[in-house]
Amino acid sequence: MKKCTILFLIFLCLFFNVIGLKVAFAVDATFKEGIYTVTNFDVSPSNAYIIKNVSKKDSIRILIFDQYNNDIQTIKLEPVSIENDVITIKPNYIIVLVGNGEVTITPKSP
């Protein structure tokens, strides 16, 4: 009986470790401070994206510019922010990230 219990606990721990690894790798690429274009992200057919700050202690600011360098949208994300919708991003828009945080930018599902 002891062997079965011990084996069950070992398999249970291994099972939760495998699930934890899948969750850890489910996050798409994170982006740090820099200048990006739409080609750096998974291109969405509708050009609708969701952004989230995944940094635990640093905030970050997102600036979106059009092809004429006009400021289209500015968002400040606090540490471990909720998901935020971004305006429709056209292929020639420029996305600037300023701050020490880390952002995930994923296509918005329909």
CA distance 99 to 57: 11
The residue-averaged pLDDT of 75-93 equals 89
Tokens matching residue 18: 């495998």
CA distance 63 to 44: 19
Name the residue ranges covered by the structural domains of the chain.
29-107
The percent of residues above 70 in pLDDT, for the chain, comes to 71
pLDDT tens digits for 29-76? 788 999 988 777 766 777 788 899 999 999 999 999 998 989 999 999
Task: Give the mean pLDDT of the chain.
Answer: 79
pTM of the model: 0.68
Domain 29-107 of CATH type 2.60.290: yes
